[in-house]
Amino acid sequence: MWLKLQWARFFTLAGWDWRLSSRRGFDFAVTFPCGHSECSGSHMILVRVVDKTAEALARKHRETFGETAYDSPNPALFGDGPANTFWVMIHGAGGGDESVLAWIDGAQRMWERAAHE
């Protein structure tokens, strides 16, 4: 599936640590840095790649993971590109809905590069 390959390249370009997930139902285990003083330096998410848009991902995420969404590593649904990503997690003194767009500057450009390199 090309989408998974593109995500793997994207994580590499972003400098995010990734490996194939050994957990059933997930494609990648991804660790990315967080500089917030109340976080422990990084977050880890389990990524399932599904070909859906952002709104559908958020809906499906709530249906699938419900209350366990805040368990670490946090389950995440990634679709076609950084704008179509969704997970929830504790971050700093709060937390909530997350997207790759909030974590990487120029994510869309990086996604386009990942398609070609």
Q: Where do contacts with Zn ion occur on this chain (CB under 5 A)?
A: 34, 36, 39, 91
Q: Output the smallest distance, CB 91 to Zn ion, in A.
A: 4
CA nearest to 77, candidates 9, 111, 30 = 30
Q: What is the rounded distance in angstroms from the CA atom of residue 34 to the CA atom of residue 32?
A: 7
> Is 8 or 89 the residue whose CB approaches Zn ion more closely?
89
> Is 6 or 74 the residue whose CB approaches Zn ion more closely?
74
DSSP H or E segment with residue 43: strand 42-49
How is the chain split among helix, strand and coil, in percent rounded to 5? 35, 30, 35
Q: Output the smallest distance, CB 47 to Zn ion, in A.
A: 17
Q: Output the smallest distance, CB 78 to Zn ion, in A.
A: 19
Handedness of CA 23, 7, 90, 43 (dihedral sign): positive
Q: Output the smallest distance, CB 42 to Zn ion, in A.
A: 8
> Is 8 or 76 the residue whose CB approaches Zn ion more closely?
76
> Is 8 or 88 the residue whose CB approaches Zn ion more closely?
88
